Chain A
Amino acid sequence: MTSVPTSARTDEQVVTAEDSAGLNVAEAHQLAADIIRNVESVIDGKHSAVRTALTVLLAEGHLLIEDVPGVGKTMLAKALARSIHASVSRIQFTPDLLPSDVTGISVYNQAERRFEFKPGAVFANVVIGDEINRASPKTQSALLECMEEGQVTVDGTTYRLASPFTVIATQNPIEMEGTYALPEAQRDRFMARISMGYPDETAELSMLAARNVSTPLADLEPVVTASALQRMMASVRDVYVSPAVKAYAVRILRATREHPDLRLGGSPRATLQLVRAAKSFALVQGRDFVLPDDIDELAHAVLGHRLMPTSRALGHHQHTDELIRDIIDGIIDETVVPPSHTTGT
């Protein structure tokens, strides 16, 4: 049986790129809080994951959610998408999914006697790629190319994707069967990777109490318009990053490259995305400047999936993730925040 390759939701209007002026910090903070509250009404006890997801969304990055099945990966992606008044499409990745299912295909129109382009699932503001590691590498790379380029080229014609454009992909842990691990070059395209983790006891109990309805998502109303989202994204671009914080981010990334237990450190793209994510995170927190703590907070999510341990270091660990977590913690603990650009008053 073949799952439905695309289920593009067309009931939402596709928002296109338009330059909008940024909101002020307080407004942006308020909207962010609204979105988070909305998403949390269907996902209990996952504040940090929700916040990070929103951060990535506002930073115009793509998010990879990785965890065992049943912890709410897809729920998070959907809830976030629904909270925004924007177009959402969902792709269920399977081994037989074709690249054209993702990007779209030219079909011959008998009536009009010409080829016409049938847009694929990526033509939406929020694209949910479910179980992305079940698809063949070929299909994976088709999506990832879209993510990087922001456009699709079919039969020599280039089609621009929507803006904002965010892919929220979910995947099962790579150790599991029937999966094709994402190559590191492609993982690098995701701004951040998060794990949901199991809910704690209280959260799980309250989930049982609240989830009488089988489809809680159906009740979820959008709280932000696409244009407001655009303006929030513009605000993110205005968040101030002091030279000290920039230097701090660079130090951390350089440390990953020099770390003896790492085969592959963070790329310059990682540096860029870390700082961009930190700006967005600062705005979500209601600040118009970035703190080193924002960098620390996001380092795991932004760097975790990009670092590769040496096989020697891995020898002592069975779990790459834990090793990487320890390494990042160690780097954060030892990296000194550079002195500020001003002193005294």
Chain B
Amino acid sequence: MSGTKTVAPERRVAARPPQRQQASRARTARTKRRADIFARRANGRRLWPVTLGTLLVYLVAISTLSPLLDGPSWWLGVALLGTVILCSAASTRSLGAPTGIGTLIGAAVWLAMLVLFFASDTALGLVIPTWDTVEAFRGLTADGLRSIGRQGTPAEADLGIRFILAVGAGTFAILADLSAIVFRMPALVGIPLVAIALVPGFIIGEVNLIALALCAAAYLVLLWVDTRARQSARKRPHGMLGIGAFAVIGSLLLAATAPGYNGESLFQTSGGSSFGRGVSPLADLGKDLRRPGGARQFTYSTTTDESLYFRLLTLDQFDGTTWSASRASERVLNEPDLLVDVPGLSTEVATEPTTTTVEVGSMVAPWIPVPFPSVRVVGLSGRWLWDVDGLTLSSRLSSANGQSYIAESVLIKPTREQLIAAPGAYPSEVSRFLELPPDIPQIITDTAREAVGDATNGFDKAYALQHYLRSTDFTYSIEAPVEDGYDGDGFDVIARFLEKKSGYCVHYASAMAIMARTLDIPARVSLGYLPGDRLGGAGERRNYTVASDDLHSWPELYFSGIGWVPFEPTPGRGSVPDYAVSTASDESTAGPNDLDSANRDPLEQAPTGPDAEAPTASQVGENEAPLGLFVALGLVALVIVAVPALSRIHRRRRRFRSIAAGRAGPTVAWEELLESSVDFGIGASEAETPRGFAARLSGSLVLGDAERESLARLLDSVERLRFSLGATPAQGATLVADVTRLQRAMATNATLPVRVRARFAPASVLGGTYSRRPAGVPRPL
């Protein structure tokens, strides 16, 4: 009776198994998928704090750009962009997507936002880019670059600049998300962070310690949050935190102190607090002075054989602290056929008409260099205004950058006699060039009177002043005023300068102009360039090149009937005009062509114009090849690259030393092996047994007999040590040799990129010992 019962079901069952197996495999796969999704959702939720930490770093990083841009609105836009990118990536992960997909979604959202905000009219359905969108983006990029080139700091964040910002900041956000969450190496976020934090330093030449400290703090917060979020599965979080912190803080400090980057700014944070406004438009003279290098500014060819001084700007107003360009003189729009008058020039003075063709290279300034006195300038693009007193051209919107033009000028050649004979009465429009604040220091008036002695006429007085300043009592120095704290051009500074008798062109020019005014000679200061270096060109045309270290300033004094006459009081710089050349032999330093560039005043003062935009700021970035900055950046990059690698090597050596000395044994050797496998992407898990790891290792590598033997010996030692009684496992040299052999095997089995990563970005250093779990093992996080 049981026979039928037993046979029948068996037959039925016997037919079932193949399908059952298939079905069960499908079921298992389904279950795995479900479990994976649940695990990923939980993982995604746990990663939120890391995302928020990344966002904090992002916000701080973009805030460091504040000194460069005007107004808060750009910041809000860029902050919104980053927030949306990072949060959409994190939300995607919370819904169960793999971490990498989260970043992809973030990138897609970024692109959609770029299209929506910058080129929605070219897009399908506002956000789907078309070919036109690409063109629009290209145009926006060009606009942005042009705008950056033209504007000083803080620049107005126009559409083009905003677009470039959105692209750059978005890239930063995506990179940060990728490193912190997908690669789970938040320490890598430090690289783009340092890159961004250094940008203002490059452009305005000034490091803001507060901003750097905030960057470092935000970075540490990110590392800390990450460590906490992953703590359950992680060992050695402090090591990672420490190394990361060391790398970033170290490189930021290095950036702040590196020579050439900005020597004096370590304790000087007042210059432009990064979160407020106002990089001072008055470029720091000392900074310009001491900046190494001299970039080519412009070249010209001219018909005259005289040395041409090129002027950018005339500083006609002195308020006791600084010289500046007033708005008092008339402005006339430049037209190709406009011929301006040379103020004060009478027909009795001999002149030499000169034509000069100028080609400006990369020099960003709202002025163009023209020889004095130019009367017509042809070929400029943009809207340029003449200052009819100073005979300079300025523009609010255009830049000298890349301009090419022809300046016609009339070189004045007054004779000494004409100058001496000039009457002491001046026309009323010149009287403002005599104005001085009432608090003039005694030493200036005294020195002026002393230097002039018994000279009676204006020219003799002027000549005496120049002679006095060029005397051997005075030395040319670009360092002394800074060291002694009297850098600048105000009353106090000039008083100190006259006392110390050491300074550079700004001091000489300013001193002579102020003293001339005390002696009732109208005076002003010109800012521009020395004639530069002769390149060649014979006959009619002579070619010169002018570099940023030809920047110069000099005084000009007014003589009735002749007009403005330049002088050269700076010893060792430039050439003294024929009419002012000493007749005696005491003028040893002032050869008319004393243009040896080695002696040049490498500094020039930037004017403080009412235009308030700092030419120097942008000139610094563009013109004075910041060799030191590159060195600093190189050092920073080296530090960042080297720290993880060195730390890994150090750890390995320390372990091997303790093993060789018998202070450590198989456990430490095994640890070293695990870390290497993490470095090479083979991975190690805390929940994995030594035997399990060994099996996986020999499964994922092609091992020779010797390596297999080493692995078996190591495994045996570590197992006996951990799980058996009274074991005497392998010691010292054998252990080291075995570990080394296996590490070599890992390296030879790895592809080149993996090897490079293992060496320079070892995951065991950047992500803790057990950062990676073997494939197929669900990870706690």
Residue numbers of A with Cβ under 8 A of B are 1, 3, 68-70, 94-96, 134, 172-173, 176-178, 198, 240, 242, 244-245, 287-293, 296, 316-319, 322-323, 326, 330, 332-337, 340-345
Min CB gap A182→B, angstroms: 18
Min CB gap B22→A, angstroms: 13
Given A330-B778, A333-B778, A344-B668, answer yes or no on A317-B31 (Cβ-Cβ < 8 Å). yes
Min CB gap B14→A, angstroms: 7
**A291 to B685 CA separation, bound complex (whole angstroms):** 17
Check if A176 sits within 8 Å of B777, measured CB to CB.
no
Of B3, B35, B665, B691, which one neighbours A345 at CB under 8 angstroms?
B665
**A335 to B688 CA separation, bound complex (whole angstroms):** 8
Min CB gap B341→A, angstroms: 91
**A79 to B725 CA separation, bound complex (whole angstroms):** 35
**A172 to B35 CA separation, bound complex (whole angstroms):** 30
Besides A334-B778, A345-B731, 14 more A-B contacts (Cβ < 8 Å) are: A68-B13, A68-B17, A69-B14, A178-B6, A240-B725, A289-B725, A290-B723, A292-B689, A293-B692, A318-B23, A323-B31, A330-B35, A334-B687, A336-B686
**A172 to B725 CA separation, bound complex (whole angstroms):** 43
Check if B724 sits within 8 Å of A242, measured CB to CB.
yes
Min CB gap B649→A, angstroms: 22
**A290 to B720 CA separation, bound complex (whole angstroms):** 10
Q: Interface readout for B237-264 with A: 1 if CB under 8 Å, 0 if not? A: 0000000000000000000000000000
Min CB gap A194→B, angstroms: 17
Assess whether B383 is interfacial by the CB under 8 Å rule: no
Check if A244 sits within 8 Å of B28, measured CB to CB.
no
Q: Interface readout for B700-735 with A: 1 if CB under 8 Å, 0 if not? A: 000000000000000000011111110000010000
**A293 to B716 CA separation, bound complex (whole angstroms):** 13
Of B10, B17, B720, B725, which one neighbours A198 at CB under 8 angstroms?
B17
Given A1-B1, A292-B689, A344-B668, answer yes or no on A242-B6 (Cβ-Cβ < 8 Å). no
Min CB gap B512→A, angstroms: 79
Of A70, A176, A319, A341, which one neighbours B9 at CB under 8 angstroms?
A176
**A322 to B29 CA separation, bound complex (whole angstroms):** 11
Check if B664 sits within 8 Å of A345, measured CB to CB.
yes
Interface set, chain B 28-54, CB cutoff 8 A to A: 28, 30-32, 34-35
Which residues of chain B are near A95, meaning CB under 8 Å?
A: 2
Given A1-B1, A319-B27, answer yes or no on A342-B14 (Cβ-Cβ < 8 Å). no
Check if B687 sits within 8 Å of A342, measured CB to CB.
no
Check if B2 sits within 8 Å of A134, measured CB to CB.
yes
Check if A340 sits within 8 Å of B1, measured CB to CB.
no
Which of A318, A322, A334 has its CB near the most chain B CB atoms (within 10 A)? A334
Check if A334 sits within 8 Å of B780, measured CB to CB.
yes
Which residues of chain A are near B685, meaning CB under 8 Å?
A: 333
Which residues of chain B are near A333, meaning CB under 8 Å?
A: 685, 687, 777-778
Which residues of chain B are near A318, meaning CB under 8 Å?
A: 23-24, 27
Min CB gap A129→B, angstroms: 16
Check if A176 sits within 8 Å of B13, measured CB to CB.
yes
Q: Which residue of B lies closest to A288 (CB)?
A: B724
Which residues of chain B are near A330, meaning CB under 8 Å?
A: 35, 778
Interface of B is mostly: helix
**A272 to B350 CA separation, bound complex (whole angstroms):** 118
**A81 to B192 CA separation, bound complex (whole angstroms):** 70
Min CB gap B674→A, angstroms: 13
**A342 to B666 CA separation, bound complex (whole angstroms):** 11
Which of A96, A240, A293, A296 has its CB near the most chain B CB atoms (within 10 A)? A293
**A345 to B6 CA separation, bound complex (whole angstroms):** 61
Which residues of chain A are near B35, meaning CB under 8 Å?
A: 326, 330
Check if B687 sits within 8 Å of A291, measured CB to CB.
no
**A176 to B689 CA separation, bound complex (whole angstroms):** 39
Q: Number of contacting residues on B, CB 8 A?
A: 43
Which residues of chain A are near B691, meaning CB under 8 Å?
A: 291-293
**A333 to B773 CA separation, bound complex (whole angstroms):** 10
Check if B14 sits within 8 Å of A68, measured CB to CB.
yes
Of A1, A322, A334, which one neighbours B3 at CB under 8 angstroms?
A1
Assess whether B536 is interfacial by the CB under 8 Å rule: no
Which residues of chain B are near A316, meaning CB under 8 Å?
A: 30-31, 34
Which residues of chain A are near B5, meaning CB under 8 Å?
A: 177-178
Check if B28 sits within 8 Å of A340, measured CB to CB.
no
Min CB gap B590→A, angstroms: 80
Which residues of chain B are near A244, meaning CB under 8 Å?
A: 722-723
**A91 to B611 CA separation, bound complex (whole angstroms):** 109
Check if A345 sits within 8 Å of B2, measured CB to CB.
no
Check if B777 sits within 8 Å of A69, measured CB to CB.
no
Check if B28 sits within 8 Å of A326, measured CB to CB.
yes
Assess whether B354 is interfacial by the CB under 8 Å rule: no
Check if A345 sits within 8 Å of B17, measured CB to CB.
no
**A34 to B289 CA separation, bound complex (whole angstroms):** 92
User: 8 A-B Cβ contacts within 8 A?
Assistant: A96-B2, A176-B9, A177-B9, A198-B17, A293-B689, A316-B30, A334-B687, A340-B667
Which of B17, B665, B722 has its CB near the most chain A CB atoms (within 10 A)? B722
Q: Which residue of B lies closest to A178 (CB)?
A: B5
Q: Interface readout for B7-19 with A: 1 if CB under 8 Å, 0 if not? A: 0111001100100
Min CB gap B119→A, angstroms: 48
Q: Which residue of B lies closest to A175 (CB)?
A: B13
Check if A69 sits within 8 Å of B10, measured CB to CB.
yes
Which residues of chain B are near A336, meaning CB under 8 Å?
A: 686-687
**A134 to B5 CA separation, bound complex (whole angstroms):** 11
Given A134-B2, A317-B31, answer yes or no on A340-B722 (Cβ-Cβ < 8 Å). yes
**A291 to B721 CA separation, bound complex (whole angstroms):** 11
Of A173, A177, A178, A245, which one neighbours B723 at CB under 8 angstroms?
A245
Which residues of chain A are near B778, meaning CB under 8 Å?
A: 330, 333-334
Assess whether B662 is interfacial by the CB under 8 Å rule: yes
Which residues of chain B are near A287, meaning CB under 8 Å?
A: 724
Given A240-B724, A244-B723, A289-B724, answer yes or no on A296-B689 (Cβ-Cβ < 8 Å). yes
Interface set, chain B 650-678, CB cutoff 8 A to A: 662-665, 667-668
Which residues of chain B are near A172, meaning CB under 8 Å?
A: 10, 13
**A173 to B32 CA separation, bound complex (whole angstroms):** 24
Min CB gap B455→A, angstroms: 92
Of A242, A296, A319, which one neighbours B24 at CB under 8 angstroms?
A319
**A244 to B13 CA separation, bound complex (whole angstroms):** 44
Which residues of chain B are near A240, meaning CB under 8 Å?
A: 723-725
Check if B721 sits within 8 Å of A340, measured CB to CB.
yes
Which residues of chain A are near B30, meaning CB under 8 Å?
A: 316
Which residues of chain A are near B8, meaning CB under 8 Å?
A: 177
Min CB gap B667→A, angstroms: 6
Nearest 5 Cβ contacts at the A-B interface: A289-B724, A340-B722, A345-B665, A177-B9, A293-B691
Which residues of chain B are near A345, meaning CB under 8 Å?
A: 662-665, 721, 731
**A345 to B686 CA separation, bound complex (whole angstroms):** 20
**A343 to B665 CA separation, bound complex (whole angstroms):** 9
**A335 to B777 CA separation, bound complex (whole angstroms):** 12
Min CB gap B548→A, angstroms: 63
Which residues of chain B are near A96, meaning CB under 8 Å?
A: 2
Which residues of chain A are near B719, meaning CB under 8 Å?
A: 289, 291
Which residues of chain A are near B31, meaning CB under 8 Å?
A: 316-317, 322-323, 326
Which residues of chain A are near B724, meaning CB under 8 Å?
A: 240, 242, 287-289
Given A333-B687, A340-B722, A344-B663, answer yes or no on A1-B2 (Cβ-Cβ < 8 Å). yes
**A323 to B27 CA separation, bound complex (whole angstroms):** 10
Which of A94, A292, A316, A345 has its CB near the most chain B CB atoms (within 10 A)? A345
Q: Which residue of B lies closest to A3 (CB)?
A: B2
Q: Which residue of B lies closest to A245 (CB)?
A: B723
Given A245-B723, A319-B27, answer yes or no on A335-B2 (Cβ-Cβ < 8 Å). no
Q: Which residue of B lies closest to A319 (CB)?
A: B24
Min CB gap A241→B, angstroms: 8
Of B10, B17, B34, B723, which one neighbours A292 at CB under 8 angstroms?
B723
Which residues of chain A are near B721, meaning CB under 8 Å?
A: 340, 342, 345
**A330 to B38 CA separation, bound complex (whole angstroms):** 14
Check if A322 sits within 8 Å of B24, measured CB to CB.
yes
**A96 to B2 CA separation, bound complex (whole angstroms):** 9
